[in-house]
Amino acid sequence: MDFDVKFGSCPIYYTISKIEGKWKWVILYKLHKSKVIRYNRLWDELKPIAHRTLSRQLKELEADGLVHREQYNEIPPRVEYSLTPVGETLAPILELMSEWGAEQLNHCNSNSVDKLS
């Protein structure tokens, strides 16, 4: 089904359709912070994500033009990921999400300490 038929012209629905999934925001944030990262390092940093899930999410992000995949024909093979220029336009949102999460974690942690006192 075409996006316009299902959701009309709502920009929020469009954004969610491109970045839906449990791990996509985290993947984008890691790529934003690292600039370029090899697959195995990304997987190590995102555990407990399943290998199959990471691979699928990266392919979807690549298909949507947000992630660039560079494969080097070496032995052993090397694959690196980075954000595309379009993916980089999400950087302010990723930073705001990170800041908001850090504030909320600090708030929750300070409330937990207060309850123990």
In the chain the domains, ranked by start, together with CATH numbers, are 3-116 (1.10.10.10)
pLDDT tens, residue by residue, 42-69: 999 998 899 999 999 999 999 999 999 9
For residue 1, the model assigns a pLDDT of 47
Mean pLDDT of the chain: 88
Instruction: Tell me how far apart the alpha carbons of residues 39 and 101 are, in angstroms, rounded to a whole number.
Output: 25
Distances in Å between the alpha carbon of 62 and those of 41, 69, 70, 114, 116? 18, 7, 11, 45, 47
